[in-house]
Amino acid sequence: MNTIHTTHPTYTFSPTHTPIHHATPGDILCFKTYDCFTNRLLPPNATYENTPSLPGNPLTGPVSISGATPGDLLKIEILTITPGPTGIVIVGPKSGCLRDQFPERKIRRVPITDKEIQFTPQIRLPLRPMIGTIGVAPAGEDIPSVTPSSHGGNMDCTKITEGSTLYLPVLIPGALLSMGDVHAAMGDGEVEDCGLEIEAHVTIRVDVIHTDTIHTPTVTWPLLETQDAWISIASRDTVDEAWQAADRQMFEFLTNQVGIDPYEAGMLLTLTGDLAFCQTVNPKLTARMEFPKAVTAQYGFHKLTRS
């Protein structure tokens, strides 16, 4: 297993970044990641005012994957997420739905054990680690690490966690995979602009699904596979655009990949599809549509690649 260190964090997904590691399909990689504040708020007396100002969401990477070419899919199996010992949660007057309720910014440093979050001495919360930002380089202009789009990025999807598999479209040769912004816990929507932000070690397995081995046409947006569901993820400028894109992407998956009749697919979406918001606070908003594998299995569809 190769370890990808935080030595030179980046703050954009870019086709011009130099890879800090070259991987081959099937490799297992461990990404060490900063929290979204580049760990600068971890010291007990640290504040926004007395620490250096930095962009949000530092990325570890990028990693180039040999053989990945535009039109392919990068397959990322998330094996383990090991959070650090302390998480950061913040509310304040400049962000989040309830910003008018918080006249001053308050930071809480929250201890983590291997099983739970010690929110206060009396209040315990379940540990639910997930990757907030993960993506590949775009083919065009740089994209800030805080912005989600078709390349992945700052999707803040709670389902991108241990045991899930993320498929991202390869947009440039080598893909250039980067990640960061892990949360020890976060509610769907991230309504107050913050999860429990934490440094972490993320272990993944990478692979490449070539165009000629996938059910056509190729998926051109983030697709997530969990034990029980296929999930389309869409990031757009408005709430309506985001949820409608997630719905349309799942419809395309069901009709083009699974091979379901369009009318049946529409009926099944409204009967069994679950729509949720991943985050509502980033430069683009992110929604997801979850569709049960139990249904696609009945159509003989069990995996993304052809048998």
- Interaxial angle between packed helices 262-272 and 239-252, expressed in degrees from 0 to 180 and rounded to the nearest 10: 130
Residue 80: per-residue pLDDT: 98
What is the pLDDT, as a whole number, of residue 211? 80
Q: Reply yes or no on whether the pLDDT at 218 is more than 90.
A: no
> What is the average per-residue pLDDT within 90-96?
86
* pLDDT of the residue at 169: 97
- Residue 268: what residue type? L
Residue 76: both structure tokens together: 């990322």
Q: Are strands 28-33 and 2-4 parallel, antiparallel or unpaired?
A: parallel
Is pLDDT at 215 greater than 70 in this prediction?
Answer: no
Q: CA angle, 113 as apex, 277 and 6 as ends, to 5°?
A: 70
pLDDT band, residue 96 (cuts 50/70/90): confident
Residue ranges of domains in the chain, CATH in brackets: 2-214 (2.60.120.580)
Quote the pLDDT of residue 47: 86
User: How high is the pLDDT of residue 114?
Assistant: 77
The yes-or-no verdict on residue 199 having pLDDT over 70 is yes
Is 80 exceeded by the pLDDT of residue 48?
yes
Is 148 within 8 Å of 57 (Cβ atoms)? no
pLDDT tens digits for 274-296?
999 999 999 999 999 999 999 99
The amino acid at residue 201 is H
pTM of the shown model: 0.96
Mean pLDDT, range 52-79, rounded to an integer: 95
Confidence of residue 306 (pLDDT cuts 50, 70, 90): low
| Residue in 234, 227, 217 with CA at minimum distance from that of residue 292 | 227
Please state, as a whole number, how many other Cβ atoms lie within 10 Å of the Cβ of residue 111.
12
Mind listing the pLDDT tens digit for each residue in 235-262?
999 999 999 999 999 999 999 999 999 9
**Does residue 15 have a cis bond before it (omega within 30 degrees)?**
no
Amino acid at 219: V
pLDDT at 86: 98
List, in order, residues 6 or more apart from 91 with CB less than 8 Å away: 98, 102, 105, 106, 192, 193, 194
- The confidence score (pLDDT) of residue 99 equals 84
Q: What is the pLDDT of residues 102-128, one digit of tens each?
A: 899 899 999 998 789 999 999 999 999
* Calpha distance 263→255 (Å, rounded): 9
Residue 241, SS3? helix
Q: What is the pLDDT of residue 216?
A: 61
Q: Which two tokens stand for residue 285?
A: 């908003």
Task: Say yes or no to pLDDT of 305 above 90.
Answer: no
Under the banding of pLDDT at 50, 70 and 90, the label for residue 100 is confident
What was the pLDDT predicted at 296? Answer: 98
- Tell me 263's DSSP state: H
Closest C-alpha to 172, from 213, 143, 146, 148: 143
